[in-house]
A and B are shown apart, each in its own frame.
Chain A
Amino acid sequence: MVSRPDAFLLFFILPPLLFVLFKRYKRGKRDLTAIGGKWRSGLLMDVFLIKWFFSSLLITLFVIFSILSLAEFTGGGKTTAEPSSGIDLVFTVDISGSMLGTDVYPSRLKRSTDLISAFVENLPGERFGLVVFKGSGIKIIPITEDSSSLNTVLPYLNPDMFSSKGSNLETGITTAVNSFTSGEERKKIVLVFTDGESFSGSTSLLAKEAKMKDVSIIIFGTGTDQGTELYNQSGEPVLDNKGNIVISRQNRALLQELALSENIFYLNISDSSVLNNSLDIINKQAGASVINNKESQYQFFLSAAILFLFLYISVRIFPWKNTF
């Protein structure tokens, strides 16, 4: 099995490599005829052809085998399952203005906090934390067994809690990922509640960082595809710069794109089975942290590549038939 197929992209080096090699062959032949003189051109051409052929072959083989070693073929080995000793969940709630959208009853934010309460009820004995984010992420409750402190805070989540503007999903998740404490073998899960709207920040490195820290992420998309108008405190619809009414929708494409990585999941909060589905994912993630002990077979390919490289240099180093 290939665990890093992206390495195969490096095969695009081969055409320019071969191109350069053939160009050098032509040039070498021309130069040799010019400087070698006719009386020994036969011998020179033989040596050149043979040396050129072997050095080209060897460097090409070196490139191919190096790429194969980078592709990390794995085989054999064993997969062990280790049960974790509990779950730490960090709820990460988007509290930007668009979360007040009412296309999900009673509102996107309220539906999110209701779901959080349901999680706390359904996962007794686990530990919880709470992070909220707008333009930046803030840890409201550090990881604790004391779920009552969470229940106390939930009703008060709203966009006016913090003055920072925007909805930076990246800092929200980063704050959550970094709020886990060390020193225990507990499964770490971040539950994100967001509509993905007016998104800023970059998410490309998120999956990588989460994976490195062994954190799973479940994203709950709030809001509908049709969207809804947003209203300000005086009850008037929010307008954009041109005076049009702002329609807020769930940015489903972005959230689903994030969930392409293996430790990130996406669920729509409007699904009726969202609680059961997410509890399934949580229990599956917590039940066994699978450790892949599959041995990479890169060494076989790398040793071959190194051998070819040695031979490649040797072809040039050692003169043949007392010529060059």
Chain B
Amino acid sequence: MITFDFPGMLLFIAILPPFIFLRHFWKNRGGRLSFSFTIWQKEVFKPGIYLSKIILFLSSVFFWIGFLLLLIANAGPSLVSKEKIYLTRGIDIIFVLDESPSMAGKDFLPDNRFESAKNVIKTFVQGRDHDPIGLVSFGKNAVLRVPPGLDYEYFLEHLEGLQLMDLGNGTAMGMGIAVACLHLDKSTAKEKVIILLTDGDNNAGEILPESAANIASAMGIRIYSVGIGSSGEVPLEFTDPETGKIYRGMYESGYNEDILKEISEITNGEFFQAQSPGALGTIMSSIDSLERIEKRTKLVINTKPIHREVILIGFILILFDFFLKKWIFREVL
């Protein structure tokens, strides 16, 4: 958007039309000289060439546009942009996502559990505003994929890139929580939250989920645990990222509800059961609404003066007209 520091100056533009009339259409205008052919005593002028008339016309148009630009520049034009500045610190959120092969369970149609989880995380992140979000994933091991930050684009890119069984066959839930805690250690946020999404029981890693939950509790971190999947036999299909081999089969599904409940209780969080993609979506939106804090913002208006650019263009247009008429067309006055 363009604003003017001195909009009153724009009134001077009204002088242009009369001047254009006087300069080009007024019958008594100066700059023309009538004379007698008798005195001239030379050949009669040839009619003007069509092309040169067009060029002269365009040149005059350039001149008046240049003039208009100078008048506009004199009113102090500025480009205005608004920026929202957050005065309060958001909530730090780290997702801890299970990457074990059982997440390929096909009871979350049309995708599997893993893809559904990725989708709801994506929706969740897109709905947040200025809360640093990080990502930890675990299989047999646990690693930090994205440190908590505001670069949502980077987060979503790396979430999309997650693959089942990238971290081996296993469910190191305790390790996942511990890694998330480690990376929230330097956080200055008042509210820190871990959202754990898993479909299995802790069966790998050196740290027990309960111990990890105690660490989190001591650090003031809340853990929301979400158990994914229906119980009973579930069809399963996934591709091993190392060998490219496709595995299919049936699998006796079930997560350890007691542990998940306990983790949430220790840390003042909540435990949820998601048996369908719809339920998972609902759970995420309720966590989303639970973890909201009031945000104070201010609107900063940035103005960037552009008069210099405008003057320069106008100046060049006018000089172009001047040199074309005086140099090429040899206009005397």
- Listed in ascending order, the chain A residues whose CB lies under 8 Å from chain B are 4, 13, 16-17, 20-21, 24, 27-28, 31-32, 34-37, 44, 48, 51-52, 55, 59, 62-63, 66, 69-70, 72, 125, 127, 129, 139, 141-149, 152, 179, 181-185, 296, 298-299, 302-303, 305-306, 309-310, 313, 315-320, 323-324
Q: Which residues of B contact A145 (CB under 8 A)?
A: 132, 148-149, 186-188
Chain A CB within 8 A of B271 CB: no
Q: Name A146's contact: one of B33, B71, B86, B148 (CB within 8 Å).
A: B148
Chain A CB within 8 A of B234 CB: no
| Bound-complex Cα distance A44 to B308 (A) | 41
User: Closest residue of chain A to B187, judged by CB?
Assistant: A145
Contact residues of B between 146 and 165, Cβ < 8 Å to A: 146-151, 154-155
Q: Is the CB of A183 within 8 A of B85?
A: yes
Q: Is the CB of A21 within 8 A of B31?
A: no
Contacts A24-B331, A27-B330, A317-B22; is A184 near B85 (CB within 8 Å)? yes
List 4 tightest A-B contacts by C-beta distance, closest first: A142-B151, A319-B30, A28-B332, A144-B147
| Bound-complex Cα distance A49 to B296 (A) | 71
Q: Is the CB of B71 within 8 A of A36?
A: no
- Cβ proximity bits B108-124 to A, threshold 8 Å, 1 near / 0 not: 00000000000000000
Q: Which residues of A contact B71 (CB under 8 A)?
A: 306
Contacts A143-B150, A296-B305; is A35 near B29 (CB within 8 Å)? no
Closest beta carbon of chain A to B301's beta carbon, Å: 13
* 22 A-B residue pairings within 8 Å (CB atoms): A27-B330, A28-B332, A36-B35, A44-B33, A62-B318, A142-B151, A143-B151, A145-B148, A145-B186, A146-B187, A147-B186, A149-B147, A152-B144, A181-B151, A296-B305, A305-B70, A306-B74, A316-B23, A316-B31, A317-B23, A318-B29, A318-B30
| Bound-complex Cα distance A21 to B300 (A) | 51
| Bound-complex Cα distance A306 to B11 (A) | 14
- Listed in ascending order, the chain B residues whose CB lies under 8 Å from chain A are 6, 12, 15, 19, 22-23, 26, 28-33, 35-36, 39-40, 67, 70-71, 73-74, 76, 83-86, 130, 132, 134, 144, 146-151, 154-155, 182-188, 300, 305, 307-308, 311-312, 315, 318-319, 322-323, 326-327, 330-333
Q: Name A298's contact: one of B30, B154, B311, B319 (CB within 8 Å).
A: B311
Q: Which residues of B contact A125 (CB under 8 A)?
A: 188
Q: Is the CB of A13 within 8 A of B132?
A: no
| Bound-complex Cα distance A219 to B149 (A) | 25
| Bound-complex Cα distance A187 to B305 (A) | 23
Q: Is the CB of B144 within 8 A of A149?
A: yes
| Bound-complex Cα distance A194 to B312 (A) | 38
Contacts A125-B188, A142-B154; is A309 near B318 (CB within 8 Å)? yes
Q: Is the CB of B86 within 8 A of A324?
A: no
Q: Is the CB of A302 within 8 A of B151?
A: no
Closest beta carbon of chain B to A71's beta carbon, Å: 10
| Bound-complex Cα distance A28 to B86 (A) | 68
Q: Is the CB of B319 within 8 A of A13?
A: yes
Q: Name B33's contact: one of A182, A310, A320, A323 (CB within 8 Å).
A: A323
Q: Is the CB of A319 within 8 A of B29?
A: yes
Q: Which residues of A contact B300 (CB under 8 A)?
A: 185
User: Closest residue of chain B to A32, judged by CB?
Assistant: B33
Closest beta carbon of chain A to B25's beta carbon, Å: 11
User: Closest residue of chain B to A120, judged by CB?
Assistant: B186
Q: Is the CB of A184 within 8 A of B186?
A: no
| Bound-complex Cα distance A27 to B183 (A) | 83
